Chains A and B, each alone.
Chain A
Amino acid sequence: MSTLYVAQQGCYVKLQQEQLLIKHNDAICQRVQLPLVDQILVFGHCQLTTQALRACLQRQVSVLYLSRMGQCYGRLLPMIQGYRQLARYQQDLSEVQRLRVAKILVKAKLWNSRVLLQRQGRTRPTPGIAQAVGQLAILIRQVNEARDNAALMGIEGAGAAAYFTALGDCFVQPGFTFTERNRRPPRDPVNAMLSFGYQVLWNHLYSLIEAQNLDPYEACLHQGSRKHAALVSDLLEPFRAPLVDSLVLYLVNRKVMDPEADFEPQKGGCYLNDSGRRKYLQAFVVRMETEITSSSTLPRPRWDLLMAQVQEYKRFVYEPQTLFKPYLIR
């Protein structure tokens, strides 16, 4: 998936035939070939002309408007994408079928979190990591016994608590201490990166779900509110640790991020600033475009993992009596 991120504040995007010109202070800073772009993420204060927006709509390029922190205000979609072909099948899923998928997703999330900790523990073992790895194994077994979504959410919460406590042991650079996961607002640099990372990945996943004509509001695990695109949150769960948490670990432990220069305090919290956001997005894009090989398939970029998961869900919706196969790291 080819994405244009417009993250520099004060940019101005206009159309010139088949290209987008991105200007900053009247100087052209980038030319982008519109036919080769799948979606555009606009962060904060950047302007797109109506001509540019219309050209995007004509080419089925969706445009997302996000805050500088990565929270999505809204999406501009071509008319044709409003039709959700599979919504009827999704609504027909029974409670039993939904709970079964919800269990599979929670299990996959716990499994992937545990693998990440195990890998970290191999280079830098601590008692905290060993304890959390053991605890996660117990919780994975308990998932099968959950009677309903509430019980399942309880197990998921316990897993997250154990996992994030141990994750703190994995950050080794001064200035990046991580004691607990907090959000709205995130209170330290690591939490700021995690929040931004989940938001950005969430929005990408939303686009993929919509592109497959699934209804993002019909979910299995997160069923609380009809106003929340819960299917996106459902399918995101297995990817949090391998795609976001591990990237944040890399950015901190390899000293890509500077605890002073890349963050700013705002509204009682701690957020990425312009340079921090660009660093994160650059590393994120490199990671997502890197080709990986698993035993059964040809090398493919990590984007395909997300795509494959959405397609797997689509397949499941057509044949709900079959098993949904989640993304698991080996």
Chain B
Amino acid sequence: MLLYIVAYDIPSNRRRKKISDLLEGYGRRVQYSVFELMLSPAKYAELRRRLRRYVQMEEDSVRFYPVSKHTLDQVEIWGGVPLTQPPGSIIV
């Protein structure tokens, strides 16, 4: 499992909504257009496949940054929500 930072810049309201809805299913919004996702390789591939349908390369920009285990320890957070943790089971 790896931590990914996904950042986007999307002018169309409609496409931005679709893409942010999808990202909210896989990770957590940490800034207006930045998400942190803790995903297995299979889930990461699934997310990219599903996102690809909405992104228009001419106008939009979506960037994926994997954070290696080595640099994960060096992540600093000033303000906002804490670093995203791996998903686990949930009891309601």
Contact = CB atoms under 8 A, between A and B. Distances in A.
A6 B27 CA distance: 21
Q: Chain A, interface size: which category?
A: 20 to 34
B88 A5 contact: no
A34 B92 CA distance: 15
A30 B89 CA distance: 13
A29 B92 CA distance: 8
B43 A35 contact: yes
Contact of A289 (B25, B27, B46, B88): B88
* Secondary structure dominating the interface of A: mixed
Contact of B21 (A18, A29, A36): A18
B87 A285 contact: no
Interface in B19-78: 21-22, 24-27, 43, 46-47
Nearest to B26: A35
18 contacts: A2-B90, A3-B89, A3-B90, A4-B90, A5-B91, A17-B25, A19-B24, A22-B92, A30-B92, A33-B24, A33-B25, A35-B25, A35-B26, A35-B47, A36-B26, A36-B43, A281-B91, A285-B89
B22 A18 contact: yes
A89 to B, nearest CB: 26
A199 interface: no
A5 B89 contact: yes
Contacts of A22: 92
Interface of B: 21-22, 24-27, 43, 46-47, 87-92
B92 A2 contact: no
Contacts of A281: 91
A35 B90 CA distance: 14
Contacts of A11: 92
B90 A32 contact: yes
Contacts of B27: 33
A45 interface: no
Given A17-B21, A33-B26, A35-B43, A4 B87 contact: no
A278 interface: yes
A253 to B, nearest CB: 22
A257 to B, nearest CB: 16
B32 to A, nearest CB: 18
A2 B22 CA distance: 19
A29 B90 CA distance: 12
A19 B88 CA distance: 15
